[in-house]
Amino acid sequence: MICCVRTPHPSLVAAWLKAPVLRGRSLVIGGLAHERASVTTASAEARAQGVVEGMSLNQAQQFSPDAIFQPVDEEATARVRQSLLSTLHHFTPDVAAGEDPGCAFLKLDRLTLRWPDRSPLLAAISHAIDAVIRVTPTLGVASSMFVSKLAADHATVGVPVIVEPEKTRAYLARYPIDVLPLDDDLREYLELLGLRTIGRLQTISRHAFRRQFGVKALDIYDLGQGNDRRRLRPFRPPVRIEASEPLEPPVDNTEALQFIARALAERVSASLLAEGLGTRMVRITLTQESASPLPIEVRFAYPMTTVGELFDGIRPRLLAASIVAPLERITLCAGRLEAAYVRQPGLLIRRDGFKESIADAVARLQEEYGPSLVQRAEVHADAAPLVDHRILWKPA
């Protein structure tokens, strides 16, 4: 099951956090009233007076003359969105940001053992978000992202809407087709055919719908049946992996510097392993006594994690560094972080002993021995359980 967490627009929440007195008042976010811009979002009080997103600010002022107009605080908005996602990430790593700025999703599958009853879990999620951004969200739980968002949109604060899988079609049937992501042409065509609700849409067979509207429209049909093929794109909270060591007394010995750098590489490697990450770049900062800091960048062809891999790249750059004064501090910071993956280093060693990337190794083997030597295996899980049927070999 997937839970959709719905909050007001993050820029609106950011304005409330900065000035709590604005809560309960007509507030329009997007710019000052005299500016030639459009409404990014508005409070419930402003919406009640007719203000909607995308409306010009001048028009919004005509609908709500007493409203307070503010520009979007991009940094504060980003912090609110980040806080929402990070809070949900404490419950489960299966968290994703929705296309709507005030929407996030999390899969509840991993939480079943700890929270066999959903009610306490949903209450805990709601309380955690309220503690961080001072807003109580609405929650919707269903078997897909589309249905859970629809449920959250129609839920009320403190009362989650839960749609069990077997009740999905019946739940969707009552809604108008406007809740589906329709383009204007398809909406007009459906209305001409009298298909104004999802319930009416569900009465048509998939084959008939495809014949009438084409393959591209099948995604709309599937959503109307409660089938959403979109995948969660997991959110990963920002991680800063850095290790630093003051040097007292200052060091001007290259061997001692290498020894300290390896110790820092061990700390960086441990942090990378703990997060399941690899780094494609390490920034080294050498703070010199009575001289400008010396920055050094070490880049890797693929994400590195282990101490040996990191230090093999760091060591030659330290030896080649133009150090003009004793060093007071050395800092290692891992950048360009990516998910770590397992490699087969033995396959990447050339005759001259140098290593190369997998793509380079494949290209070299094809060049030396012909393209037919290197092939890619494609597994068909639904094929007959015979090797010739289950695994197909294709040119790499």
DSSP letter string over 171-239?
Answer: HHHTSBGGGS---HHHHHHHHHTT--BHHHHHTS-HHHHHHHH-GGGHHHHHHHHT-------------
Average pLDDT over residues 275-295: 87
Q: Which of 9-23, 64-78, 242-256 has the lowest mean pLDDT?
A: 242-256
Rounded mean pLDDT of the chain?
Answer: 86
> Is pLDDT above 70 for 111?
yes
Average pLDDT over residues 170-199: 89
Domain with CATH 3.30.1490.100 in the chain: 241-339
| Encoded tokens for 388 | 């010739």
CA-to-CA separations, 202 to 1, 183, 305, 392, in angstroms, rounded? 22, 19, 51, 38
> Is pLDDT above 60 for 387?
no
Backbone angles phi, psi at 275, to 5 degrees: -95, -5
Query: Domain 1-163 - what CATH class?
Result: alpha beta
> Is pLDDT above 80 for 226?
yes
Strand partners, 142: 2
pLDDT of 345 reads 45
* Cβ partners under 8 Å of residue 285, min gap 6: 293, 294, 295, 296, 329, 330, 331, 333
Q: Which residue has better confidence, 332 or 191?
A: 332
Average pLDDT over residues 183-191: 86
> Is pLDDT above 60 for 235?
yes
Average pLDDT over residues 215-238: 84
* DSSP one-letter code for 299: E
Average pLDDT over residues 351-363: 61
Task: Count CB-CB contacts under 10 A for residue 245.
Answer: 15
Residue 340: pLDDT band with limits 50, 70, 90:
low
β-strands 391-395, 103-107 pairing: unpaired
Q: Which of 71-80, 147-156, 308-317, 363-372 has the lowest mean pLDDT?
A: 363-372
Domain with CATH 1.10.150 in the chain: 169-225
The distance of Cα 231 from the centroid of its chain, to the nearest Å, equals 12
| Strand intervals (E) in 237-276 | 241-251
Domain with CATH 3.40.1170.60 in the chain: 1-163
> Is pLDDT above 80 for 258?
yes
Query: Domain 169-225 - what CATH class?
Result: mainly alpha
Residue 213: pLDDT band with limits 50, 70, 90:
confident
Average pLDDT over residues 86-109: 88
Q: What is the pLDDT of residues 47-64, one digit of tens each?
A: 999 999 999 999 999 999
Q: Taking Cα atoms as reference points, which of 288, 293, 283, 292 lies closest to residue 252?
A: 288
> What CATH superfamily classification does 241-339 receive?
DNA polymerase, Y-family, little finger domain (3.30.1490.100)
pLDDT of 344 reads 46
Residue 342: pLDDT band with limits 50, 70, 90:
very low
Average pLDDT over residues 265-272: 90
β-strands 161-162, 138-142 pairing: parallel
